[in-house]
Amino acid sequence: MSEELNQGLGTANRAGNREQTAAERPPVSPNGLDKEVVLAIRNLSVVYPTREASIVAVNDVSFNIFKGELLGLIGESGCGKTTTAMAILRLLQPPGMIAGGEIILAGKTDLVKLEGAQLQAVRWRDVALIPQGAMNSLNPVMRVHEQIGDAIDAHVTPRMSRDEIKQRILTLFGLVGLPARTFDLYPHELSGGMKQRVCIAMAIALNPALVVADEPTSALDVIVQRIVAQNLLDIKNRLGVSILLIGHDMGLMAQLADRMAVMYAGNMVEIAPARTILTEPLHPYTQLLIEAVPTIKTRKPLKLTEGLTHDLRYPPPGCIFQSRCPLVMEVCRRVRPPLKETKPQHQVACHLYDALQ
């Protein structure tokens, strides 16, 4: 027990020293073009067919994930973040299905077109998952090392010996600050933070190009949240893995993300470097979102009180945000604003910036 605490404190201290807000960090590469694109999502649409009409949970969404970056995907509950992530992993649970678009891995493979054995081979080797609920994501009847080991076993050829696998797993534990004794434990013998770190270790077991992390810290207390967040930064910096991080904790996002993508009701409304999103948000929704972030020192009235105002099955024509937008114009009710680059590296879907292109 004390062992784990020491480990935890060690990592927490390191986190404390290194802590930087996105605003202080230098911006990533002046223009995104010279960076290698790990995953390109093109016009992705995901629907959940229901009896009357389909819910369009992801509507014609396009974005890139660059090598070695941490892209934060934010937006309120139900806006389609998990659906986007699961579509990328090809793990949509029925009735959800990809209605159109491409998910291009490393400029070559379209994940949408893969099936069966090909899909199985790409999974974990190229794209891994850190799940939303680490609590139930580990098989309760298998020891930790078996669960990491079977992922390694399923993908590495020629097969690694038991000893090699053990060494690999212990190295992974080192990277995320897990004590070696975790190796032989069952999930119920781990604390929540340890479970989440096991999931992180598992995700990087095959050194994938991309790790999708769906609210990896949501069920943890603040201290453990910071430790896990630091783990994510560590693996990004040390291994150069790209991370798609989903979450609605703006504070944490600001600490971690290189770029941020803002979703609203299944649509991508703004993508920009993290500090730009925080300091000069362009989309009215992003502006409200940033303003609504509570701070410890000052109280402010919550401007963003309503949830989604339209039925996802019947989106209005024109801008998706029109019913809540304080700046709505006549054109917004007719024409859907496309996501366009208005400033270098800054994309926004809003008619206010039509003149800027």
Ligand X SMILES: Nc1ncnc2c1ncn2[C@@H]1O[C@H](COP(=O)(O)OP(=O)(O)OP(=O)(O)O)[C@@H](O)[C@H]1O
Q: Which residues bind Mg ion (CB under 5 A)?
A: 82
> Smallest gap, in angstroms, from Cβ of residue 258 to ligand SF4?
25
Interface of this chain with ligand X, residues 75 to 94, rule: CB under 6 A: 75, 77-83, 93
Binding site for ligand SF4 (CB under 6 A): 283-284, 319, 321-322, 325, 327-329, 332, 337, 350-352
Whether the Cβ atoms of residue 226 and residue 15 lie closer than 8 Å to each other:
yes
Torsion, Cα 304 307 309 315, to 10 degrees, reads: 110
User: Applying CB under 6 A, does 216 fall inside the site for ligand X?
Assistant: no
Binding site for another protein (CB under 8 A): 89, 91, 93, 119-125, 128-129, 131-133, 135-142, 150-151, 154-155, 186, 188-189, 202
Half-sphere exposure of 248 (CA within 13 A, CB side): 15
Q: What angle do CA 337, 338, 339 make, to 5 degrees?
A: 120
> Smallest gap, in angstroms, from Cβ of residue 139 to another protein?
4
Whether the Cβ atoms of residue 231 and residue 256 lie closer than 8 Å to each other:
no
Q: How far is CA 4 from the centre of its chain?
A: 27
Q: x/- site string to ligand X, residues 5 to 44, per CB under 6 A? A: ----------------------------------------
Whether the Cβ atoms of residue 183 and residue 170 lie closer than 8 Å to each other:
yes
> Smallest gap, in angstroms, from Cβ of residue 25 to another protein?
31
Phi, psi angle pair for 189, to nearest 5°: -95, 5
> Smallest gap, in angstroms, from Cβ of residue 229 to ligand X?
18
131/281 with CB nearer another protein: 131
> Smallest gap, in angstroms, from Cβ of residue 84 to ligand X?
7
Spatial CA neighbour of 71 closest among 199, 205, 262? 262
Six token digits for residue 34? 């010279």
Which residues contact ligand X by CB under 6 A?
48, 55, 57, 75, 77-83, 93, 96, 248, 312
